[in-house]
Amino acid sequence: MTATPALTWPALAFAIASASGVPAIADATGVALPGTCEAPRALSAIEAPLYRTSSRIVSGKPVTIVAMGSSSTLGTGASSPASNYPSRLEQELRERFPGIDVRVVNHGVGGQDVPEELTRLGRDVMAEHPDLVIWQVGTNAVLRRDDLSADEQLIGRGVASMQEKGIDIVLMDLQYAPRVLSRPAAGEMERLIADLARRTQVGLFRRFEIMKEWDHTQQLAPATAIGPDGLHMTDASYGCLANRLAEALATNWLSQNKLAKSPQRNPDAVAGVAHARLPAPDLLLPR
């Protein structure tokens, strides 16, 4: 098998720029998309550096991403498995980085909450040896309880476990849906996830605020973002979610490559040698 050559800075920039922007009217799944999935950069950007995946992308090496979560990772509400967000994210990233073997593994299990997801971190995450984990979390907790004090500790424990393995992490928060909005703890969970991402220096994808923007600007119209059950996403919103997430990841990786060329940048950190960070003291919980 012939190794894929590393992408040069101009080639990487061109690959991202040529594939970015609004999605096509129909993607390879044949599912129609809205005319635009735009969101302000302040909402869609992933700020924390993703050193491990950036290093592999710019070197032309294969990248394995695990999508961990519950029903909106599994793809409940989509018309087919090809229309869920992990499948479409893989497609979007392969279009942006032709020649790089990008694999997105879907480990969503409908109805699961943080405690159940923690019990399968070893089997469903670590066993895949991922470069990046996108952990969609928080919705089922909000639907089931108002006291989220234990959730913060449990999510933190999962983040710490993955950081110990040097895995890049992006936390994806709640979907903007009527059944979520009706729960008193929805806002608290959104803040909790954002605060945890900031303290542990992992990526944050603000799904809740992005979907709220789509709702207020009617960008997905005449398609709907949420199905008739008032909770689960649709082909249109899954497609737009994958589009925005792919763009956020590509931009993050591109910016890290640019920083890596700076003489002030620590090359070991860029290569992933110094990637693993110690979790905050309050997250070092007994297992």
Taking all residues of the chain, what is their mean pLDDT, rounded to a whole number? Answer: 83
Residue 92 lies in a domain: yes
Q: Per-residue pLDDT averaged across 255-273, rounded?
A: 52
Residue 102 lies in a domain: yes
Residue 63 lies in a domain: yes
What is the residue range of 168's domain? 44-258
In the predicted model, is pLDDT for residue 31 greater than 90? Answer: no
Residue 211 lies in a domain: yes
Number of domains in the chain: 1
Residue 269 lies in a domain: no
Residue 33 lies in a domain: no
User: What pLDDT score does 275 carry?
Assistant: 35
Q: Per-residue pLDDT averaged across 54-77, rounded?
A: 96
Residue 38 lies in a domain: no
User: What pLDDT score does 49 carry?
Assistant: 95
Q: Per-residue pLDDT averaged across 214-227, rounded?
A: 91
Give the Cα separation of 232 and 9 in Å (integer).
39
User: What pLDDT score does 260 carry?
Assistant: 55
Which CATH number fits the domain that encloses residue 234? 3.40.50.1110
Residue 162 lies in a domain: yes
